Amino acid sequence: MEIFEKETLVSAENVIAQDKTFPKAKSASISIAQFVVLLSVAVFAPALDIQSITGTLVNATLFVATALLGLQTAILIGIIPSVVSIVTGLLPVAILPMVPFIVFSNAVLIIIFSMFQKKSFVKGVVIASVLKFAFLSVVSSFVIHFFVSEKIASKIALMMSWPQLFTALSGGILAYFVLGAIKKIEK
């Protein structure tokens, strides 16, 4: 009986040693925590109601999420804040027609950044930011004029142009420092 117990014990220890469940569980819990933190920042940032701060935080969140959690999770994080902003009434009614395009531009930012980040973080941020800005600028100049008055349309078109480039680039800079701090903590 004692031999059987020892074999079982050794056998169980071998299974645990060979099974990489424990590191995966730790990694999964870290990923979940990172997801919750990044999603929280992205969801609550629009409540600040200052485009330069909100945009920088959301874009930084998208860059960090892409680097830490991957393409699909980052895209999910890019969708949820827009939905929450609509449901909670944080977005002015005049901007509602732009929401699908904002979500798409966030996806463009994430996809382009993910393509370049491993080769060059800076190149990834710059190219992704410029393409997001270009897409939103062009789309807003067409879409907004169909849904709102000319007076309001010009203000919204302005919001969807140069400030988008500024907040995407500043979000990239913030993400660079956040990711650098995370690397220091992990060491």
Does residue 23 register a pLDDT over 70? no
- What is the value of pTM for the model shown? 0.80
Q: Which three-class secondary structure state does DSSP give residue 119?
A: coil
Domain ranges of the chain: 2-186
Confidence of residue 65 (pLDDT cuts 50, 70, 90): very high
Torsion sign, CA atoms 64, 65, 69, 74: negative
Please tell me the distance from the alpha carbon of residue 56 to that of residue 50, in angstroms, as a whole number. Answer: 10
Give the tens place of pLDDT for each residue, 105-139. Answer: 999 999 999 999 989 999 999 999 999 999 998 88
Q: Which three-class secondary structure state does DSSP give residue 59?
A: helix
Query: In what helix (H) or strand (E) does residue 62 lie, and over which residues does it extend?
Result: helix 51-69
Confidence of residue 21 (pLDDT cuts 50, 70, 90): very low
Residues, the chain: 187
Select from 1.10.10.10, 1.20.1250.20, 1.10.1760.20, 3.40.50.1220 the CATH code of 2-186: 1.10.1760.20
Please tell me the distance from the alpha carbon of residue 2 to that of residue 134, in angstroms, as a whole number. Answer: 73
